[in-house]
Structure 1
Amino acid sequence: MTDPVRAPVDVLLRRLDPEVPVPAYAHPGDAGCDLVTTEAAELAPGERAVLPTGLAIALPDGYAAFVHPRSGLAARCGVSMVNAPGTVDAGYRGEIKVIVVNLDPRETVRFERFDRIAQLVVQQVEKVRFHEVAELPGSARAAGGFGSTGGHADRPSGRQNDFVAVGSDQDSDLRGQ
Structure 2
Amino acid sequence: MDIQHVPVKVKKLREDAVIPAYAKAMDAGFDLVAVEDILVGPGETAKVQTGLAFAIPAGFELQIRPRSGISAKTKLRLPNAPGTIDAGYRGEVCVLIENTRLASGEKGNECFSVGEAKISTAEAVDVNAYFIKKGDRVAQGVLGRVPQAIFEEVDELDETERGAGGFGSSGVRVLK
Range class of TM-score, shorter chain? 0.7 to 0.9
In 2, distance between residues paired with 1:109 and 1:144? 41
Answer whether contact 1:59 1:90 (CA < 8 A) is retained: yes
Shift of 1:139: 1.7
Runs of 5+ consecutive residues of structure 2 not aligned to the other structure? 105-127
1:5 aligns with 2:2: yes
**CA drift at 1:8:** 0.6
More helix by share: 1
2:96 alignment partner in structure 1: 99
1:142 aligns with 2:166: no
Q: CA deviation at 1:40?
A: 0.8
Higher mean displacement: 96-105 or 143-152: 143-152
Aligned equivalent of 1:113: 134
User: What residue is the counterpart of 1:163 in the other structure?
Assistant: none
User: 1:159: which partner in 2?
Assistant: none
Give the count of matched residue pairs.
Answer: 150
Q: Does 1:62 align with 2:59?
A: yes
One-letter amino acid matched to 1:37: A
CA contact (8 A) 1:70 1:80 kept: no
Show CA shifts across 1:64-105 (max 9, x none): 101011121111111111211111111111000111101123
2:146 to 120, 125, 137: 125
- Residue 50 of structure 1 is aligned with which of 37, 41, 47? 47
Q: Mark the runs of 5 or more structure 1 residues left unpaired by the alignment.
A: 155-177
Higher strand share: 2
Give the TM-score normalised by structure 2. 0.79
Question: Structure 1 CA distance, aligned partners of 2:95 and 2:18?
Answer: 16
DSSP-derived class of the 1:74 partner: helix
Aligned-pair RMSD on alpha carbons?
A: 1.6
Q: Which runs of 4+ in 1 moved over 4 A?
A: none
Q: Match of 1:24?
A: 21
Q: Determine the structure 2 residue equivalent to 1:151.
A: 172
Q: TM-score, normalised by structure 1?
A: 0.79
Q: Distance in 2 between matches of 1:115 and 1:40?
A: 9
Identity across the alignment (%):
42
In the TM superposition, residue 150 of structure 1 has moved relative to its aligned partner by 2.3
